[in-house]
Amino acid sequence: MPKIKVTNLTKVFGKHPSGVLPLLAQGESRESIFKKTKHVVGLNRISFSVREGELLVVMGLSGSGKSTLLRCINRLIEPTGGSICIDGEDITKLPPKELRLKRQQKFGMVFQHFALFPHYNVLRNAAYGLELMNVPKAEREKKGLEALERVGLDAWAKAMPNKLSGGMKQRVGLARALALDPEILLMDEAFSALDPLTRREMQSELLRLQHEMHKTILFISHDMDEALNLGDRIILLRDGDIVQEGTPEDILANPADDYVADFVRHADRSRVLTTRSIMVPASAVAVLGVDGPHTALRKIRHHGLSSLFVMDAFHTLLGLVREDELESMRLRGKRDLAEIMETDLTTVGLDVSLNDTIPIIASLPYPLPVVDDRNKLQGVILRGTVLEALGGNGCSDETGECTATGEQQ
């Protein structure tokens, strides 16, 4: 069962919102509904679900409905139609008192502009949710301090919020949400108000915390880099509709339409793309004990390479042989490639980010071999492939071409 399951969630702003629902069902557009009824469709029958422990980023420009969507999840904004099930329980049907308790138990929320209480010190802010639940003072201060420790601000417990920098304020905001140990974190453009450097730092911080805590997180963002960096999955919203839903790599590789493509074009791909997604099959390899220098040289020349990877019969990468040394070996009339094979190769795993791969490739005289955890050759990364992937052409269907234009192997 998904942690959060949203079905046909609809929000219409105006005087008689429910009257617009039939029009939406007939497939009328946002514009024509606005013209006819002066009602604004904020969310148009949106369905998606979030798994336990998943970090889902909802992404879109301002006015796309992403903040409305987030606020519908804990009913800060009352949905017009549809259902929102948390652990299988439809919270759109809860009476006010139970909704309040549900908010205390299940949800922690982090706000774009921090929303720290100026009249409380950092610790009391962090323990705010517990204070509302009437947890005894000693206990809530202990938990508040623990939460502050998590975000590295325990030394500031007694400071007032106006003494903190933006990044620190948002750490307190995060601590306030975490102090309750909620199952679900709702983060509304939580890092958008921070400067780029602090934003990066907070993103890493969130990923680190998520690695420890495995919360279910719904993160709203308008920043594609942030979405690609944080999200296990991304939902793209436009005008209250879901345009695309998928993993960061899906979205980078196959943008659903121009809107998404436009987003993706300016994104920093190097952090998202992994070796797995940009590697290409090695165009030719030599098998130890089977191929001799003659065959190896023929393969090299046929594919226009300068060196050849050597594997055993089970695809385990053993080493590399060079054209000039093969040539001299052939002249000497020897057969065993093991004699001239270089064995101290640099390799990478399958899920290394492109960002980390680039510096390795830059200094390597041969294509970078990608191996799995049993050292079996899965593919190679060429400089040309990397450039193309960064350029945003997507590489998966141009594999053959990539290989053909491959550098001196």
Distance CA 362, CA 14 (A): 58
DSSP code per residue over 4-50? EEEEEEEEEESSSGGGGHHHHHTT--HHHHHHHH--EEEEEEEEEEE
Binding test (CB under 8 A) with other proteins, winner from 12, 57, 109, 126:
109
Distance CA 355, CA 274 (A): 8
Binding test (CB under 8 A) with other proteins, winner from 32, 61, 89, 115:
115
E strand or H helix at 57, and its extent? strand 55-59
- Span from 106-114, 189-197, 239-247, 369-377 in contact with other proteins (CB under 8 A): 106-114
216 binds other proteins (CB under 8 A): no
Do residues 90 and 84 touch, judged by C-beta distance below 8 A? yes
Quick note: the x/- pattern for other proteins over 30-69, rule CB under 8 A, is: ----------------------------------------
- Span from 34-42, 79-87, 108-116, 284-292 in contact with other proteins (CB under 8 A): 108-116
Collapsing DSSP to helix, strand or coil, 44 comes out as: strand
Distance CA 209, CA 205 (A): 6
144 binds other proteins (CB under 8 A): no
Binding test (CB under 8 A) with other proteins, winner from 21, 40, 76, 85:
76
78 binds other proteins (CB under 8 A): no
b/e string for 178-193 if b means 16 or more Cβ within 10 A? Answer: bbbebbbbbbbbbbeb
369 binds other proteins (CB under 8 A): no
118 binds other proteins (CB under 8 A): yes
- Span from 102-110, 140-148, 216-224, 240-248 in contact with other proteins (CB under 8 A): 102-110
- Between 126 and 279, name the residue whose CB sits nearer to other proteins: 126
Distance CA 327, CA 213 (A): 58
Q: Which of residues 156-195 bind other proteins (CB under 8 A)?
A: 160-162, 176, 180, 186
319 binds other proteins (CB under 8 A): no
- Between 77 and 350, name the residue whose CB sits nearer to other proteins: 77
82 binds other proteins (CB under 8 A): no
Reduced DSSP (H G I as helix, E B as strand, rest coil) percent helix, strand, coil of the chain, to 5: 45, 20, 35
- Between 102 and 276, name the residue whose CB sits nearer to other proteins: 102
Do residues 179 and 130 touch, judged by C-beta distance below 8 A? yes
Beta bridge partners of 132: none
Distance CA 261, CA 279 (A): 22
Binding test (CB under 8 A) with other proteins, winner from 36, 38, 100, 335:
100
Do residues 166 and 193 touch, judged by C-beta distance below 8 A? yes
Binding test (CB under 8 A) with other proteins, winner from 39, 103, 169, 269:
103
213 binds other proteins (CB under 8 A): no
Q: How far is the CB of 186 from other proteins (least distance, A)?
A: 8
Q: Which residues contact 62 (CB under 8 A, 6 or more apart)?
A: 222
Collapsing DSSP to helix, strand or coil, 319 comes out as: strand
Q: Count the alpha carbons within 13 Å of 149 in the hemisphere toward its beta carbon.
A: 6
128 binds other proteins (CB under 8 A): yes
The residue behind tokens 């350029």 is: 391
Binding test (CB under 8 A) with other proteins, winner from 87, 131, 268, 398:
131
Alpha-helical (H) ranges within 303-378 are: 323-332, 354-362
Binding test (CB under 8 A) with other proteins, winner from 42, 129, 248, 369:
129
Q: Which stretches of the chain bind other proteins, using CB under 8 A?
A: 74, 76, 100-104, 107, 109, 111, 113, 115, 117-119, 128-129, 131-133, 160-162, 176, 180, 186
